[in-house]
Chains A and B, each alone.
Chain A
Amino acid sequence: MKKLLTESEANQRDLIHILHKVQAEMGYISPEAIAAISKHLKISENEIYGVLTFYKAFSLKPRGEHLVTICMGTACHVRGAPRILDEFKRGLCIEPGETSEDNLFTLETVNCVGASWTVEDQRCGQADRRNKEKFKGIKREGNSIKKMEKINATRLEELKAEILDSRKDQKTCITVCGGTGCHASDVFRLQMLSGMRLRGRS
C-alpha cells in the first residue's frame, strides 16, 4: 500500500487512478486503504467514500475467488441474458453484488462488455487474473519497429517510402483479425501458432 502511494502523485486528480490500483492489488478497498489514501491526497475519508461508492469499479467488500460477470447489455438482453442470470442466481444462491458464503463466487452484472457478437460471452474467471488473461498473446516478441527515431515532417515522407519499399518483397500477407469479436473465438492462439510456423520462411 505504501509503495503504491509513493508511486503516485498527491493530487485529487489521481484519486480514481489510485483506487483502481488498490482494487486491482487487493481485490477491494479496505478502510485502512481509505485512511492511507486520505492522508496521502489530503482529502477527507468522507469524500473518498463518496467517490468510490459512486463508481461500480470499486468494492468495499472482498470479492469471492471467482467472479462471475453477466452482461446485461441490450443485445444480451434480447438474446436471453436474464435467463442466464436467473440460472446463476439459483445455482449460486446469491443475488447480483453478493458473494457466496464459502467465498468462492461473487456474482456481478455489467451493462455491456462490448462483445455483443458472441453473446455467450458470460465470463467466469479468476477475479484478479481477469485482465492479465485478456492481454495474453498480444505481446509481440521482437517488435517489428526496428528504429524508433524522432522524425520531422520531411522525414515522414521518406519514412513512408522506406516502409513501403521494405515491404515490396512481401508477396503474401496473412491478416488475421484481432478484433475483440474474433478474439473471443480464440484468434490469438491462432495467430501465435501460424506465426510460429511462418517465421523464417516468408
Chain B
Amino acid sequence: MRTTGCHGFCERGPITVIQPDGIFYQRVKLEDVAEVVTETIRNKKIIDRLLYIDPRTGKKIIKEKEVPFYKKQKRIIFGNNGFIDPTDIEDYIALDGYKALAKVLFDMTADEVIAEVKDSGLRGRGGAGFLAGLKWEICRNVSSDVKYIICNADEGDPGAYMDRSLLEGNPHSVIEGMIIGAYAIGASEGYIYVRMEYPLAVKNITLALEQAREMGFLGDSILGSEFSFDIHVFKGAGAFVSGEETSMMASIEGRRAFPRQRPPFPAQEGLWGKPTNINNVETWANIPLILNKGADWYSHIGTRKSKGTKIFSLVGKINNTGLVEVPMGISLREIIYEIGGGIKDGKKFKAVQTGGPSGGCIPADMLDLTIDFDTLTKAGSMMGSGGMIVMDEDTCMVDVARYFLEFTQEESCGKCVPCRVGTRQLVEILTRITKGRGEERDIQKLQDLAKTIKAGSLCGLGQTAPNPVLTTLRYFENEYEAHINQKSCPALVCKDLIIYHIDPKKCVGCLLCLKNCPVDAISGERKQVHVIDQDLCIKCGACLDVCPPKVSAVVRYTGKKKERVLKNVQSKRAKK
C-alpha cells in the first residue's frame, strides 16, 4: 500500500493502481475500497465499473499503460511519480535514486559533468529555454569564494502545475539534480523558492530535505566525498514577478521582488552579489536521468534543437485534463486529440494557449505544428513553463487577451514605465472593445503600443506581456473586428454585447429559470411563456444553465440579431 505523487490523469481521480499487474481503477470512491481488497486482490477479479472506458471505442481498459491518455506519452521524468511515496526516501533509492550522484561525486570531475549536460542539449524548462550546461559553465568559470544555486519553483503561469507535481510527487529527483549541479558549479548553498500557494509541495520537499540530510546526501562531505552542500526552502509570498530570476533573488534577500537590469547576469552577480545559477524545477529533475543514462541516450529524444521531453499541464475545455509528458516534436493534434481525448462536450476546438501570460494563442489551422522551443516562438507564442490551455468555440479571444493583460498589468511590479503604463493602456483599449465601445483605430493602437512595451520594458514580464494581444490579433483579427464594427461577440461571452432571451416558441413554462434568477428579472406563470426583463437582467447565465436541454428555450444573441430581438420586445411592450 503506497500513496504516491500525481499520476497525471487528474480528470479521472482518485486513481488507484494495483501492481504488479498495473490494474487501473479510476474515480474510486470510499464505498469501493472494500470491494477492491476482497475482489481484485484476494480473488483476482476485476471490478468492471471502476475501469476506464475509452470514449472513442467504448471499450473498457484494464491496464494503466493501455489507457490512451498514457500511450502517446513518454514519461521519463514524471513516470516515477506513480511508484514513489514522496515521504519515503527508500522508494526513491529503490528506483536507482542518488545513483547518479554517487557516480558524479566519485567518478567524474566537475568539467565532465558540465560537458555531459551540455552534450545532452538540455534547455531550461522555466521559459526561455537557455542551454542548461552552458549556463552552468558560465557560473563555474566565475571565481568566487561563495556561489549559490536556486531552484525556481514559483510556477506563476496560471494553469500550469507540473513543477508542483514534481515537488510533491518526486522531490528527491529535484534535490539530486541540484546537488549534482552544485558539484559541477562549485556552489555551497542552494535555495528552493516555492510559491506559497503550494503548501503540500513545501511540506514534501522540506521532509525530503530532512531525510536526505539524515542519510548524508546533503550536508558535510556528501556520501563520504569531499563535497559539502546544503539546501534551504524559501516560501514565496504571492507575486508573479518573483518568478523572474533577478526578482527572485531580491525576494530571497528579504526585499521587494523588483527585477533589475541584466547584465550583470546572476552568474556574475547574483544572490548577495555572489555568482548564482538558477534553474527551473523540471530542469533540475532532468539532471539525474541524463547522468544515469548518458547524454547520448538523452539527446536521441526530441528534435534537433530541443532535446528530451516536456511536461505540459493540459487544462481548459479538454476531456482529459491532466499532466502529460511528451517528447519534444510531438504535434499539438496528438496532444489534444490522442492524449487529451478531444474537446469537452463535442464542441469545436478554437485555440490553444501556451506559455502563460507571456505566450500566445495558436489557432485550429496550426494543429499540426510540432512543438518545441523554436516552433512555438515562431508561432508567436512560447514554451513557457508548460501550461497548455485549450479553448473551444465558446471562448472569446478578445476576452482572453483582456484577461491576460489584466493579469500582467496587475502583476507588473511598477518599476519601469513602458510596462506599468503601457499594459494599463492595453487593458483600457481591450476593455473598451469588449464593452462595445471599440473604435476603428484601436487595432492599430494596440499594435503600436505592444511594440513599444516589448522594446522598452526592463524585464521579461513587460517584454512578453503583449504576446497574448499580438497573437490573438494575428490569428483572430476577425473577432476584434466583429466586436468593433458589428458590436458583436461571436463567442457570446462579452456581457455588454449579448442578451439572454427566452424563445416563446420553445418555453414550456416550467418556472425553473424564474426560480433561479438571482435578480428576479424573469416573469411568467406555470405553463406560460416566461419573459426576461432586459433592464433587470445582469447576464449571469443562470437561466441558460438550468433550462432543461430538452427544452433549451434560453438563447443568447449578439450583434444585429440582438438589436432585432430587443426592438421586437420593446414594440411588444409599447403595444401593451
A163 touches B16 (CB 8 A): no
Neighbouring A residues of B555 by C-beta, 8 Å: none
Q: Is the CB of B7 within 8 A of A13?
A: no
- The interface bits of chain A over 168-190 (1 if a CB of B lies within 8 angstroms of the residue's CB, else 0) are 00011111111111111111111
Q: B87 touches which one: A143, A152, A195, A198 (CB < 8 A)?
A: A143
Docked CA distance A5–B99 (Å): 41
Residue of B nearest to A71 (CB): B158
Q: Please indicate the chain A residues that have their CB under 8 angstroms from the CB of B240 in the complex.
A: 111
| B574 contacts chain A at the CB level, 8 A cutoff | no
A selection of 13 A-B contacts at a CB cut-off of 8 Å is A13-B252, A20-B235, A75-B316, A112-B160, A114-B164, A153-B102, A156-B102, A177-B13, A177-B16, A178-B168, A180-B200, A189-B30, A191-B1
Binds B, one of A60-68, A82-90, A98-106: A82-90
B505 at the interface (CB under 8 A from A): no
Ranked nearest first, the 9 interchain pairs of A and B with the lowest CB-CB distance are A179-B6, A181-B10, A182-B13, A56-B238, A152-B224, A117-B10, A55-B237, A73-B158, A112-B158
Contacts of B90 in A (CB 8 A): 144-145, 163
Q: Which residue of B lies closest to A48 (CB)?
A: B254
A172 CB to closest chain B CB, in angstroms? 5
Interface range for A: 35 or more
Q: How far is the CA of A113 from the CA of B7 in the complex (A)?
A: 18
A6 interface contact, C-beta 8 A: no
Please give, as numbers and ranges, the residues of chain A lying within 8 Å of B540 by CB-CB distance: 83, 86-87
CA distance A160 to B99 in the complex (A): 10
Looking at the complex, which one of A50, A118, A138, A175 makes contact with B2 (CB distance below 8 Å)?
A175
Are A117 and B13 in contact, with the CB atoms below 8 A?
A: yes
CB of B41 within 8 Å of the partner chain: yes
Contact digits for B333-356, partner A, Cβ 8 Å, 1 yes 0 no: 000000000000000000001001
A16 close to B87 (CB less than 8 A): no
Do residues A150 and B216 form an inter-chain contact, with CB atoms below 8 A? yes
A42 at the interface (CB under 8 A from B): no
Is there contact, CB below 8 Å, between B16 and A174? yes
Q: How far, in Å, is B228 (CB) from chain A's closest CB?
A: 14
Inter-chain contacts of B235 with A (CB < 8 A) = 16-17, 20
B-to-A contact residues, CB < 8 Å: 1-8, 10-11, 13-20, 27-30, 33-34, 36-37, 41, 81-83, 85-90, 93-94, 96, 98-99, 102, 105-106, 155-161, 164-165, 168-169, 196-200, 203, 211, 214-216, 223-225, 234-240, 251-257, 313, 315-317, 321-322, 353, 356, 387, 389, 391, 395, 400, 403-404, 407, 411, 413, 518, 538, 540-541
Residues of B within 8 A of A160 (CB): 93-94, 96, 99
Contacts of B102 in A (CB 8 A): 153, 156-157
Contact with A182, one of B6, B18, B404 (Cβ below 8 angstroms):
B6
The answer to whether B237 touches A156 (Cβ under 8 A) is no
Q: Determine which of B2, B197, B223, B353 lies in contact with A113 in the assembled complex, contact meaning CB atoms within 8 Å.
A: B197
Q: Which residues of A contact B256 (CB under 8 A)?
A: 50-51, 54
Q: What separation, in Å, do the CA atoms of A131 and B199 have in the docked complex? A: 7
Q: Is the CB of B254 within 8 A of A20?
A: no
Let me know if A197 is at the binding interface, CB within 8 A. Answer: yes
- Are A138 and B6 neighbours in the complex by a CB distance under 8 Å? no
Residue of B nearest to A184 (CB): B13
In the complex, A47→B203 CA distance in Å? Answer: 30
Within the complex, the shortest CB–CB distance from B223 to chain A, in Å, comes to: 5
User: Of residues A134, A145, A177, which shows the largest number of chain B Cβ atoms within 10 Å of its Cβ?
Assistant: A177
Q: How far is the CB of A34 from chain B (nearest CB, A)?
A: 14
Residues of chain A with a CB closer than 8 A to B252's CB: 13
